[in-house]
Amino acid sequence: MKRLTPRLGMDRRFAVLEALIVFAVLAIIVAVAVPAYAARARESVLQQNAHGLAQEVRGEVALDVDSAYLSEVGLTAAGSAEASLSTALAGALRSGDAGRYVNPLSGGATVVCETALPSSSNGRPPAVWITDDQSYAYSAFTASATTTRYLRGTLVIVFITREGRTGCLEVFYVDAAGKRSSTATVLGIGA
């Protein structure tokens, strides 16, 4: 019959303690790494969505629809949904003809085509916002609590209008901090 010596019992206690320390360190690493990875994954989805949306906008521009911006709020006065590029694009995005986009930060899938900053009734930022508000153009865009609340994760299409004529469109996204993306796609319209 073997008898346990005090030294052997002490070795087993150290082995258990060492294993607990290793598991604690791994748990801390996982707790830090998983959220960081998830944030990078969402940022990657936003980049891919912005690129895909820019391609869809190029396709709509190629159809030679009237490039004037028209808010859907003013649609009843203008007539049909095909009256302008902005409303045609909003309709194509809603129907899925121009792809389906979901805001990876909020889960919102709405497409808003209006000049005013979108505020949804469910409190989630939209997937896509189409506007002609020049203060949200890429170079003029500034992060704030408002942009974080209403636009984080949103793909933005801004109609740049000068002297009543749309000269180009900007496509970019708003990141989790409410800041504009590092790059924007600028699409010229007309001659």
Over residues 71-123, the pLDDT tens digits come to 877 655 545 555 688 888 888 888 887 778 999 988 888 899 988 888 765 67
pLDDT at 9: 54
- What single string gives the DSSP state of each residue in 132-184? --GGGSTTT----HHHHHHHTT-EEEEEEEETTEEEEEEEEEB-TTSPBPS--
- How many domains does the chain contain in total? 1
The segments of the chain whose pLDDT lies below 70 read 1-13, 74-83, 120-122, 190-191
pLDDT at 12: 64
pLDDT at 120: 62
Cβ proximity of 86 and 186 under 8 Å: no
d(CA 133, CA 158): 7
User: Which ranges in 63-79 belong to alpha helices (H)?
Assistant: 75-78
Q: What are the distances in angstroms from CA 48 to CA 3, 25, 156? A: 66, 35, 14
171 occurs within a structural domain: yes
6 occurs within a structural domain: no
Q: Which domain holds residue 166?
A: 11-188
Predicted TM-score (pTM) of the model is 0.78
